[in-house]
Amino acid sequence: MYQTLILNAQVLDGSGSSARHIDVAISDTGKLSLFPPGNETAAGETIDADGLCLAPGFIDVHTHDDTAVIKNPEMENKISQGVTTVIVGNCGISASPVSLNRDEPPNPMNLLGEREDFLYPKFSDYVDAVRKARPSVNVAALIGHTSLRSNHLADLFRPANTDEIEAMRKELRESLKDGAIGLSSGLAYDTAYEAPDTEVKALIEEVAESGGVYTTHMRTEFDQIINAINESFDIAKHGRVPLIISHLKCAGAANWGRSSEVLKHVEKQAETHKFACDCYPYSASSSNLDPKQVTDKNDIFITWSRPHPDQSGKLLAEIAEEWELSLLDAAYKLMPAGAVYHCMSEEDMQKILSYDRTMIGSDGLPEDPFPHPRLWGTFPRVLGRYCRDLNLFDLPAAIHKMSGLSGTEFGLKERGFIADGYKADLVLFDPKKVRDVATYENPKQHSEGIQKVWVNGQLSYSSGEKANGRAGECILRN
Protein backbone atom coordinates (compact mmCIF):
# COMPACT_ATOMS: atom_id res chain seq x y z
CA MET A 1 0.00 0.00 0.00
CA TYR A 2 1.29 3.43 -0.93
CA GLN A 3 0.39 6.62 0.87
CA THR A 4 0.66 8.85 -2.19
CA LEU A 5 0.67 8.33 -5.92
CA ILE A 6 1.69 11.09 -8.33
CA LEU A 7 0.41 10.63 -11.87
CA ASN A 8 0.98 12.52 -15.12
CA ALA A 9 4.16 14.36 -14.10
CA GLN A 10 7.16 15.06 -16.28
CA VAL A 11 9.69 13.33 -14.08
CA LEU A 12 13.20 14.78 -14.02
CA ASP A 13 15.08 12.20 -12.00
CA GLY A 14 18.13 14.28 -11.05
CA SER A 15 20.56 12.46 -13.34
CA GLY A 16 20.48 15.15 -16.03
CA SER A 17 18.58 13.01 -18.53
CA SER A 18 15.38 14.25 -20.10
CA ALA A 19 11.93 14.10 -18.56
CA ARG A 20 10.19 10.71 -18.38
CA HIS A 21 6.51 9.92 -18.15
CA ILE A 22 6.42 7.58 -15.21
CA ASP A 23 4.24 7.42 -12.13
CA VAL A 24 5.82 7.93 -8.74
CA ALA A 25 4.56 6.35 -5.55
CA ILE A 26 5.51 7.14 -1.96
CA SER A 27 5.43 4.20 0.47
CA ASP A 28 4.30 4.37 4.08
CA THR A 29 7.96 4.41 5.10
CA GLY A 30 8.68 7.46 2.94
CA LYS A 31 10.48 5.68 0.07
CA LEU A 32 9.95 5.97 -3.66
CA SER A 33 8.67 3.42 -6.19
CA LEU A 34 8.41 4.07 -9.92
CA PHE A 35 5.84 2.57 -12.29
CA PRO A 36 5.13 2.76 -15.99
CA PRO A 37 1.80 4.61 -16.32
CA GLY A 38 -1.19 2.36 -15.73
CA ASN A 39 0.72 -0.23 -13.67
CA GLU A 40 0.51 1.27 -10.21
CA THR A 41 -1.30 -0.18 -7.23
CA ALA A 42 -3.68 1.47 -4.80
CA ALA A 43 -2.69 4.50 -2.76
CA GLY A 44 -4.23 6.54 0.05
CA GLU A 45 -4.07 9.67 -2.05
CA THR A 46 -3.67 10.19 -5.77
CA ILE A 47 -2.35 13.43 -7.20
CA ASP A 48 -2.80 14.33 -10.83
CA ALA A 49 0.28 16.42 -11.65
CA ASP A 50 -1.29 17.49 -14.91
CA GLY A 51 1.99 17.80 -16.81
CA LEU A 52 3.94 19.72 -14.16
CA CYS A 53 7.55 18.78 -13.41
CA LEU A 54 8.45 16.45 -10.59
CA ALA A 55 12.07 16.59 -9.43
CA PRO A 56 14.13 15.34 -6.49
CA GLY A 57 13.91 17.78 -3.58
CA PHE A 58 16.62 20.38 -3.99
CA ILE A 59 19.80 20.13 -1.95
CA ASP A 60 21.14 23.50 -0.81
CA VAL A 61 24.81 22.55 -0.62
CA HIS A 62 26.01 25.83 0.81
CA THR A 63 24.17 27.17 3.83
CA HIS A 64 24.69 28.82 7.16
CA ASP A 65 21.45 27.38 8.54
CA ASP A 66 23.23 25.68 11.49
CA THR A 67 21.18 27.34 14.22
CA ALA A 68 18.25 28.38 12.01
CA VAL A 69 17.10 24.77 11.62
CA ILE A 70 16.77 24.65 15.41
CA LYS A 71 15.43 28.16 16.10
CA ASN A 72 13.09 28.39 13.10
CA PRO A 73 12.40 24.77 12.20
CA GLU A 74 9.68 25.71 9.68
CA MET A 75 12.53 26.86 7.42
CA GLU A 76 10.02 28.69 5.30
CA ASN A 77 12.76 30.43 3.27
CA LYS A 78 14.08 27.07 2.04
CA ILE A 79 11.05 24.78 1.83
CA SER A 80 9.22 27.43 -0.22
CA GLN A 81 11.98 27.10 -2.86
CA GLY A 82 11.65 23.32 -3.06
CA VAL A 83 14.74 22.76 -0.93
CA THR A 84 14.47 19.55 1.11
CA THR A 85 18.05 19.24 2.40
CA VAL A 86 20.51 21.85 3.65
CA ILE A 87 24.22 21.35 4.17
CA VAL A 88 25.34 23.43 7.14
CA GLY A 89 28.77 24.24 8.56
CA ASN A 90 30.24 25.88 5.46
CA CYS A 91 33.01 28.51 5.24
CA GLY A 92 34.87 27.19 8.29
CA ILE A 93 32.04 27.97 10.68
CA SER A 94 29.82 25.34 12.27
CA ALA A 95 27.62 25.53 15.35
CA SER A 96 29.32 22.42 16.70
CA PRO A 97 31.55 21.26 18.22
CA VAL A 98 31.86 24.64 19.92
CA SER A 99 32.62 25.56 23.51
CA LEU A 100 32.67 29.35 23.44
CA ASN A 101 35.39 30.54 25.75
CA ARG A 102 35.13 34.23 24.92
CA ASP A 103 32.54 37.00 25.28
CA GLU A 104 31.30 36.93 21.70
CA PRO A 105 31.45 34.44 18.85
CA PRO A 106 34.45 35.47 16.75
CA ASN A 107 34.08 36.73 13.17
CA PRO A 108 32.53 35.14 11.09
CA MET A 109 31.00 32.64 13.54
CA ASN A 110 28.71 35.51 14.50
CA LEU A 111 26.96 34.92 11.15
CA LEU A 112 25.44 31.86 12.84
CA GLY A 113 24.04 33.66 15.85
CA GLU A 114 24.78 35.23 19.20
CA ARG A 115 26.69 33.80 22.10
CA GLU A 116 23.60 32.01 23.48
CA ASP A 117 23.10 30.14 20.19
CA PHE A 118 26.33 28.17 20.58
CA LEU A 119 25.06 25.35 22.77
CA TYR A 120 26.73 22.28 21.29
CA PRO A 121 30.14 21.36 22.71
CA LYS A 122 29.96 18.03 20.85
CA PHE A 123 28.67 17.21 17.39
CA SER A 124 26.34 14.64 18.96
CA ASP A 125 24.75 17.45 21.02
CA TYR A 126 24.00 19.26 17.78
CA VAL A 127 22.49 16.13 16.22
CA ASP A 128 20.25 15.68 19.27
CA ALA A 129 19.09 19.30 19.07
CA VAL A 130 18.28 19.05 15.35
CA ARG A 131 16.32 15.85 15.91
CA LYS A 132 14.41 17.45 18.76
CA ALA A 133 13.60 20.55 16.69
CA ARG A 134 12.47 18.38 13.75
CA PRO A 135 13.01 21.00 11.03
CA SER A 136 11.06 20.84 7.79
CA VAL A 137 14.26 20.09 5.84
CA ASN A 138 16.95 17.42 6.20
CA VAL A 139 20.27 18.56 7.64
CA ALA A 140 23.78 17.32 6.87
CA ALA A 141 26.66 19.02 8.65
CA LEU A 142 30.28 19.88 7.99
CA ILE A 143 32.71 20.72 10.78
CA GLY A 144 34.25 24.18 10.52
CA HIS A 145 37.98 24.73 10.84
CA THR A 146 37.43 28.19 12.37
CA SER A 147 35.04 26.72 14.93
CA LEU A 148 37.69 24.17 15.93
CA ARG A 149 40.30 26.93 16.15
CA SER A 150 38.02 29.01 18.38
CA ASN A 151 37.81 26.11 20.84
CA HIS A 152 41.56 25.85 21.28
CA LEU A 153 43.25 29.14 20.33
CA ALA A 154 42.74 32.14 22.59
CA ASP A 155 44.41 34.23 19.89
CA LEU A 156 43.04 33.38 16.44
CA PHE A 157 45.47 35.63 14.62
CA ARG A 158 48.34 33.17 14.60
CA PRO A 159 48.97 29.57 13.44
CA ALA A 160 47.91 26.73 15.76
CA ASN A 161 50.75 24.97 17.62
CA THR A 162 51.27 21.20 17.78
CA ASP A 163 49.15 20.69 20.89
CA GLU A 164 46.32 22.81 19.52
CA ILE A 165 46.36 20.90 16.23
CA GLU A 166 46.21 17.62 18.14
CA ALA A 167 43.22 18.88 20.16
CA MET A 168 41.42 20.01 16.97
CA ARG A 169 42.10 16.66 15.32
CA LYS A 170 40.61 14.81 18.24
CA GLU A 171 37.41 16.87 18.13
CA LEU A 172 37.14 16.51 14.37
CA ARG A 173 37.73 12.73 14.55
CA GLU A 174 34.98 12.34 17.10
CA SER A 175 32.54 14.49 15.11
CA LEU A 176 33.20 12.52 11.93
CA LYS A 177 32.69 9.29 13.83
CA ASP A 178 29.34 10.68 14.99
CA GLY A 179 28.23 11.41 11.41
CA ALA A 180 29.58 14.79 10.28
CA ILE A 181 30.08 14.75 6.52
CA GLY A 182 33.42 16.54 6.24
CA LEU A 183 35.56 19.55 7.02
CA SER A 184 35.06 23.13 5.84
CA SER A 185 37.46 26.04 5.93
CA GLY A 186 37.13 29.81 5.59
CA LEU A 187 40.75 30.80 5.04
CA ALA A 188 39.85 34.25 3.67
CA TYR A 189 38.50 35.36 7.05
CA ASP A 190 40.90 37.06 9.46
CA THR A 191 40.25 34.42 12.14
CA ALA A 192 41.60 31.63 9.89
CA TYR A 193 43.90 33.55 7.56
CA GLU A 194 46.97 32.98 9.72
CA ALA A 195 46.47 29.21 9.54
CA PRO A 196 49.12 27.87 7.16
CA ASP A 197 48.21 25.07 4.75
CA THR A 198 50.05 22.63 7.03
CA GLU A 199 47.49 23.28 9.77
CA VAL A 200 44.59 22.38 7.47
CA LYS A 201 46.53 19.42 6.05
CA ALA A 202 46.89 17.97 9.55
CA LEU A 203 43.12 18.16 9.97
CA ILE A 204 42.30 16.81 6.53
CA GLU A 205 44.17 13.60 7.40
CA GLU A 206 41.26 12.82 9.74
CA VAL A 207 38.67 13.22 6.99
CA ALA A 208 39.78 10.59 4.47
CA GLU A 209 38.96 7.63 6.64
CA SER A 210 35.40 8.80 7.24
CA GLY A 211 34.62 9.15 3.53
CA GLY A 212 34.02 12.88 4.03
CA VAL A 213 34.66 15.88 1.81
CA TYR A 214 36.66 19.11 2.11
CA THR A 215 34.83 22.35 1.27
CA THR A 216 36.63 25.65 1.27
CA HIS A 217 35.94 29.35 1.13
CA MET A 218 39.37 29.90 -0.34
CA ARG A 219 42.09 32.15 1.01
CA THR A 220 41.20 34.68 -1.65
CA GLU A 221 38.71 35.11 -4.51
CA PHE A 222 40.45 38.28 -5.72
CA ASP A 223 43.64 38.72 -7.80
CA GLN A 224 45.50 35.75 -6.30
CA ILE A 225 42.64 33.31 -6.97
CA ILE A 226 44.78 30.85 -8.99
CA ASN A 227 47.17 30.46 -6.06
CA ALA A 228 44.21 29.95 -3.75
CA ILE A 229 42.81 27.24 -6.04
CA ASN A 230 46.20 25.52 -6.06
CA GLU A 231 46.34 25.61 -2.27
CA SER A 232 42.83 24.11 -2.07
CA PHE A 233 43.75 21.19 -4.34
CA ASP A 234 47.03 20.69 -2.53
CA ILE A 235 45.24 20.36 0.84
CA ALA A 236 42.53 18.04 -0.52
CA LYS A 237 45.09 15.87 -2.32
CA HIS A 238 47.14 15.59 0.85
CA GLY A 239 44.15 13.99 2.55
CA ARG A 240 42.93 12.12 -0.58
CA VAL A 241 39.59 13.79 0.04
CA PRO A 242 37.21 15.19 -2.63
CA LEU A 243 37.49 18.97 -2.97
CA ILE A 244 34.51 21.31 -3.16
CA ILE A 245 35.28 24.98 -3.71
CA SER A 246 32.58 27.13 -2.13
CA HIS A 247 30.86 29.96 -3.99
CA LEU A 248 33.41 29.99 -6.80
CA LYS A 249 33.68 33.52 -8.18
CA CYS A 250 36.02 36.15 -9.59
CA ALA A 251 35.69 38.86 -6.95
CA GLY A 252 36.70 42.48 -7.36
CA ALA A 253 36.55 44.68 -10.44
CA ALA A 254 40.23 44.01 -11.22
CA ASN A 255 39.39 40.32 -11.50
CA TRP A 256 36.39 40.56 -13.83
CA GLY A 257 36.57 38.57 -17.04
CA ARG A 258 38.77 35.83 -15.60
CA SER A 259 36.10 33.13 -15.23
CA SER A 260 37.24 31.20 -18.33
CA GLU A 261 40.81 31.13 -17.07
CA VAL A 262 39.65 30.02 -13.62
CA LEU A 263 37.40 27.28 -15.01
CA LYS A 264 40.13 26.03 -17.33
CA HIS A 265 42.46 25.87 -14.36
CA VAL A 266 40.12 23.88 -12.10
CA GLU A 267 39.14 21.58 -14.98
CA LYS A 268 42.80 20.74 -15.56
CA GLN A 269 43.30 19.96 -11.85
CA ALA A 270 40.07 17.95 -11.78
CA GLU A 271 41.63 15.47 -14.22
CA THR A 272 43.67 14.10 -11.35
CA HIS A 273 41.54 14.86 -8.30
CA LYS A 274 37.83 14.64 -7.52
CA PHE A 275 36.42 18.16 -7.66
CA ALA A 276 33.17 20.12 -7.63
CA CYS A 277 32.13 23.65 -6.73
CA ASP A 278 29.05 25.61 -5.82
CA CYS A 279 27.67 28.94 -6.94
CA TYR A 280 24.70 31.19 -6.19
CA PRO A 281 22.90 32.90 -9.09
CA TYR A 282 23.63 36.54 -8.23
CA SER A 283 26.48 38.92 -9.01
CA ALA A 284 26.61 40.31 -5.47
CA SER A 285 28.15 38.55 -2.49
CA SER A 286 27.25 38.99 1.18
CA SER A 287 28.98 38.54 4.51
CA ASN A 288 30.20 40.55 7.44
CA LEU A 289 31.49 44.01 6.59
CA ASP A 290 35.19 43.45 5.97
CA PRO A 291 37.63 46.38 5.70
CA LYS A 292 39.67 44.35 3.17
CA GLN A 293 36.71 44.42 0.79
CA VAL A 294 35.94 48.12 1.12
CA THR A 295 36.39 49.78 -2.27
CA ASP A 296 34.91 52.57 -4.37
CA LYS A 297 34.91 50.29 -7.44
CA ASN A 298 31.54 48.69 -6.64
CA ASP A 299 28.47 49.38 -4.47
CA ILE A 300 28.50 48.10 -0.90
CA PHE A 301 25.13 47.90 0.77
CA ILE A 302 24.92 47.78 4.58
CA THR A 303 22.47 45.12 5.84
CA TRP A 304 22.99 45.57 9.59
CA SER A 305 25.25 47.39 12.03
CA ARG A 306 25.53 46.69 15.75
CA PRO A 307 26.50 50.26 16.80
CA HIS A 308 24.40 52.00 14.12
CA PRO A 309 21.31 49.89 13.37
CA ASP A 310 19.61 52.93 11.80
CA GLN A 311 22.12 52.80 8.91
CA SER A 312 21.01 49.38 7.63
CA GLY A 313 19.52 49.48 4.15
CA LYS A 314 21.89 52.23 2.96
CA LEU A 315 24.95 52.27 0.74
CA LEU A 316 28.29 52.59 2.51
CA ALA A 317 29.13 55.50 0.18
CA GLU A 318 25.99 57.39 1.30
CA ILE A 319 26.78 56.84 4.94
CA ALA A 320 30.40 57.93 4.47
CA GLU A 321 29.27 61.10 2.75
CA GLU A 322 26.76 61.91 5.48
CA TRP A 323 29.35 61.32 8.19
CA GLU A 324 32.04 63.13 6.19
CA LEU A 325 34.36 60.15 6.55
CA SER A 326 36.34 58.02 4.15
CA LEU A 327 34.71 54.73 3.10
CA LEU A 328 37.13 52.83 5.30
CA ASP A 329 36.59 55.02 8.38
CA ALA A 330 32.83 54.80 7.94
CA ALA A 331 33.15 51.00 7.70
CA TYR A 332 35.14 50.82 10.95
CA LYS A 333 32.52 52.99 12.66
CA LEU A 334 29.72 50.66 11.49
CA MET A 335 31.40 47.40 12.52
CA PRO A 336 30.41 44.82 13.50
CA ALA A 337 28.13 45.01 10.51
CA GLY A 338 26.83 43.05 7.52
CA ALA A 339 27.16 43.94 3.86
CA VAL A 340 26.13 43.05 0.33
CA TYR A 341 29.01 43.60 -2.09
CA HIS A 342 28.21 44.08 -5.76
CA CYS A 343 31.62 42.65 -6.55
CA MET A 344 31.14 40.26 -9.50
CA SER A 345 30.50 40.56 -13.20
CA GLU A 346 27.23 38.97 -14.32
CA GLU A 347 29.01 37.33 -17.25
CA ASP A 348 31.56 35.58 -15.02
CA MET A 349 28.84 34.41 -12.67
CA GLN A 350 26.84 32.95 -15.57
CA LYS A 351 29.88 31.08 -16.88
CA ILE A 352 30.56 29.54 -13.48
CA LEU A 353 26.87 28.73 -12.94
CA SER A 354 26.80 26.89 -16.29
CA TYR A 355 29.96 24.86 -15.64
CA ASP A 356 29.32 21.10 -15.48
CA ARG A 357 30.79 20.62 -12.04
CA THR A 358 28.87 23.50 -10.44
CA MET A 359 26.17 22.72 -7.89
CA ILE A 360 23.69 25.26 -6.59
CA GLY A 361 24.19 26.59 -3.07
CA SER A 362 22.45 29.67 -1.71
CA ASP A 363 24.99 30.84 0.89
CA GLY A 364 21.97 32.62 2.41
CA LEU A 365 22.40 34.28 5.80
CA PRO A 366 19.28 33.59 7.87
CA GLU A 367 20.40 35.75 10.83
CA ASP A 368 20.69 38.86 8.69
CA PRO A 369 17.73 41.22 9.28
CA PHE A 370 18.06 42.44 5.68
CA PRO A 371 19.33 39.33 3.93
CA HIS A 372 20.74 39.05 0.43
CA PRO A 373 17.82 37.77 -1.73
CA ARG A 374 19.68 34.49 -2.36
CA LEU A 375 18.32 33.28 1.00
CA TRP A 376 14.75 33.12 -0.37
CA GLY A 377 15.26 33.04 -4.14
CA THR A 378 18.27 30.99 -5.26
CA PHE A 379 16.68 27.79 -6.62
CA PRO A 380 13.64 29.28 -8.42
CA ARG A 381 15.99 31.93 -9.85
CA VAL A 382 18.16 29.25 -11.46
CA LEU A 383 15.07 27.52 -12.87
CA GLY A 384 13.27 30.68 -14.00
CA ARG A 385 15.76 33.35 -14.93
CA TYR A 386 18.84 31.33 -15.87
CA CYS A 387 17.36 28.12 -17.26
CA ARG A 388 14.05 29.12 -18.87
CA ASP A 389 14.48 32.82 -19.64
CA LEU A 390 18.18 33.09 -20.50
CA ASN A 391 18.58 29.47 -21.60
CA LEU A 392 22.02 28.99 -20.01
CA PHE A 393 21.34 25.25 -19.69
CA ASP A 394 18.38 22.94 -20.16
CA LEU A 395 15.98 21.94 -17.41
CA PRO A 396 17.38 18.44 -16.77
CA ALA A 397 20.84 20.00 -16.33
CA ALA A 398 19.47 22.66 -13.95
CA ILE A 399 17.78 19.99 -11.83
CA HIS A 400 20.96 17.88 -11.84
CA LYS A 401 22.91 20.83 -10.37
CA MET A 402 20.39 21.09 -7.53
CA SER A 403 19.91 17.42 -6.71
CA GLY A 404 21.72 14.47 -8.32
CA LEU A 405 25.13 16.11 -8.62
CA SER A 406 24.87 17.47 -5.09
CA GLY A 407 23.79 14.17 -3.52
CA THR A 408 26.64 12.40 -5.33
CA GLU A 409 29.40 14.90 -4.56
CA PHE A 410 28.51 15.09 -0.87
CA GLY A 411 27.89 11.34 -0.63
CA LEU A 412 24.33 11.64 0.67
CA LYS A 413 22.83 8.16 0.64
CA GLU A 414 19.46 7.73 -1.12
CA ARG A 415 19.10 11.47 -1.76
CA GLY A 416 19.24 13.59 -4.90
CA PHE A 417 17.52 11.23 -7.35
CA ILE A 418 14.04 9.97 -8.10
CA ALA A 419 14.78 6.26 -8.07
CA ASP A 420 13.33 3.08 -6.58
CA GLY A 421 14.08 2.82 -2.88
CA TYR A 422 15.31 6.39 -2.54
CA LYS A 423 13.92 8.73 0.11
CA ALA A 424 10.78 10.53 -1.02
CA ASP A 425 12.18 14.07 -1.10
CA LEU A 426 10.27 15.64 -4.01
CA VAL A 427 9.33 18.96 -5.51
CA LEU A 428 6.48 19.53 -7.93
CA PHE A 429 6.79 22.77 -9.88
CA ASP A 430 5.45 24.58 -12.89
CA PRO A 431 8.31 25.07 -15.36
CA LYS A 432 6.48 27.91 -17.10
CA LYS A 433 5.75 29.89 -13.94
CA VAL A 434 8.64 29.17 -11.60
CA ARG A 435 10.53 32.34 -10.66
CA ASP A 436 12.21 34.07 -7.73
CA VAL A 437 10.41 37.05 -6.23
CA ALA A 438 12.92 38.11 -3.53
CA THR A 439 14.88 41.27 -4.40
CA TYR A 440 17.65 43.29 -2.76
CA GLU A 441 15.00 45.83 -1.69
CA ASN A 442 12.43 43.28 -0.55
CA PRO A 443 14.32 40.07 0.13
CA LYS A 444 11.94 37.95 2.21
CA GLN A 445 9.40 36.65 -0.28
CA HIS A 446 8.11 33.29 -1.41
CA SER A 447 8.99 32.32 -4.97
CA GLU A 448 6.33 31.49 -7.52
CA GLY A 449 5.63 28.21 -9.26
CA ILE A 450 6.69 25.80 -6.51
CA GLN A 451 3.51 23.75 -6.06
CA LYS A 452 4.24 21.00 -3.58
CA VAL A 453 7.22 19.75 -1.61
CA TRP A 454 7.57 16.41 0.15
CA VAL A 455 10.27 15.59 2.67
CA ASN A 456 10.81 11.95 3.61
CA GLY A 457 7.41 11.22 2.10
CA GLN A 458 5.53 13.87 4.04
CA LEU A 459 3.87 16.79 2.28
CA SER A 460 5.72 19.76 3.78
CA TYR A 461 4.84 22.69 1.55
CA SER A 462 1.91 23.41 -0.64
CA SER A 463 1.81 26.82 -2.25
CA GLY A 464 -1.07 28.87 -0.96
CA GLU A 465 -2.13 26.35 1.68
CA LYS A 466 -0.74 25.14 4.96
CA ALA A 467 0.97 21.76 4.62
CA ASN A 468 1.25 19.02 7.18
CA GLY A 469 4.49 19.76 8.78
CA ARG A 470 8.03 18.96 9.43
CA ALA A 471 9.72 15.72 8.56
CA GLY A 472 13.40 16.60 8.17
CA GLU A 473 16.07 14.16 9.35
CA CYS A 474 19.66 14.56 10.37
CA ILE A 475 21.68 12.95 7.59
CA LEU A 476 24.68 11.26 9.13
CA ARG A 477 27.63 9.77 7.25
CA ASN A 478 27.22 5.96 7.27
- Chain length of the chain: 478
Q: How far is the CB of 308 from Cu ion (least distance, A)?
A: 25
CB of 353 to Zn ion, least distance (A): 17
- Does 217 sit near Zn ion (CB under 5 A)? yes
Nearer to Cu ion, 61 or 428 (CB): 61
Instruction: Using alpha carbons, select from 118, 122, 203 the residue that is nearest to residue 160.
Output: 203
* 412/165 Cα distance (integer angstroms): 29
Give the one residue of 90, 138, 269, 451 binding Cu ion; rule: CB under 5 A.
90
Q: Which does 354 bind (CB under 5 to 8 A by kind): Cu ion, Zn ion, none?
A: none
What does 248 bind: Cu ion, Zn ion, none (CB cut-off 5 to 8 Å by kind)?
A: none
Q: What angle do CA 203, 175, 476 make, to 5 degrees?
A: 120
Query: Least Å distance between CB 145 and Cu ion?
Result: 13
Is the Cβ of residue 13 or residue 231 nearer to Zn ion in the bound state?
Answer: 231
Binding residue (CB under 5 A) for Zn ion from 5, 59, 91, 438: 91
The answer to whether residue 437 forms part of the interface with Zn ion (CB under 5 A) is: no
User: Please, what is the minimum distance in Å from the beta carbon of residue 364 to Cu ion?
Assistant: 9
Residue 39 CB burial class (10 angstroms; 0-12, 13-18, ≥19):
exposed
- Would you say 90 or 311 has its CB closer to Zn ion? 90
Rounded CA-CA distance 448/451 in Å is 8
Q: Should residue 148 be labelled a site residue for Cu ion when binding is judged by CB under 5 A?
A: no
Does 185 bind Cu ion (CB under 5 A)? Our answer is no
Q: Which is nearer to Zn ion, 217 or 470 (CB)?
A: 217
Round to whole Å and give the CA distance between 459 and 472.
11
> Whose CA is closest to 388, among 375, 376, 398?
398
How many other CB atoms are there within 10 angstroms of residue 331's CB atom?
23
| Secondary structure letter of residue 102 according to DSSP | S
Cβ-contact 5, 43 below 8 angstroms: yes
365 binds Zn ion (CB under 5 A): no
CA-closest candidate to residue 168, choices 246, 65, 242, 98: 98
> What, of Cu ion, Zn ion, none, does residue 372 touch, CB below 5 to 8 Å by kind?
none
219 is a site residue for Zn ion (CB under 5 A) = no
Q: By rule CB under 5 A, what count of residues binds Zn ion?
A: 2
Q: Measure CA 76 to chain center.
A: 16
Cβ-based nearer residue to Cu ion, 57 or 89: 89
Distance CA 369, CA 376 (A): 13
Nearest distance from C-beta of residue 91 to Zn ion, angstroms: 3
> Could you say whether residue 368 binds Cu ion (CB under 5 A)?
no
CB 70 within 8 A of CB 130: yes
Q: Which stretch binds Zn ion (CB under 5 A): 18-26, 214-222, 348-356, 453-461?
A: 214-222
**Site stretch for Cu ion (CB under 5 A), options 89-97, 119-127, 315-323, 336-344:** 89-97
- Region 348-367 residues binding Cu ion, contact defined as CB under 5 A: 363
91 binds Cu ion per the rule CB under 5 A? yes
107 binds Cu ion (CB under 5 A): no
Q: Is 96 helix (H, G, I), strand (E, B) or coil?
A: coil
Q: Letter for the amino acid at 196? A: P
Strands 358-360 and 138-141: unpaired
> Minimal distance in Å, beta carbon 64 to Cu ion?
6
Rounded Cα–Cα distance for residues 260 and 373 (Å): 26
Residue nearest Cu ion (C-beta atom)? 91
Binding site for Cu ion (CB under 5 A): 90-91, 363
Binding site for Zn ion (CB under 5 A): 91, 217
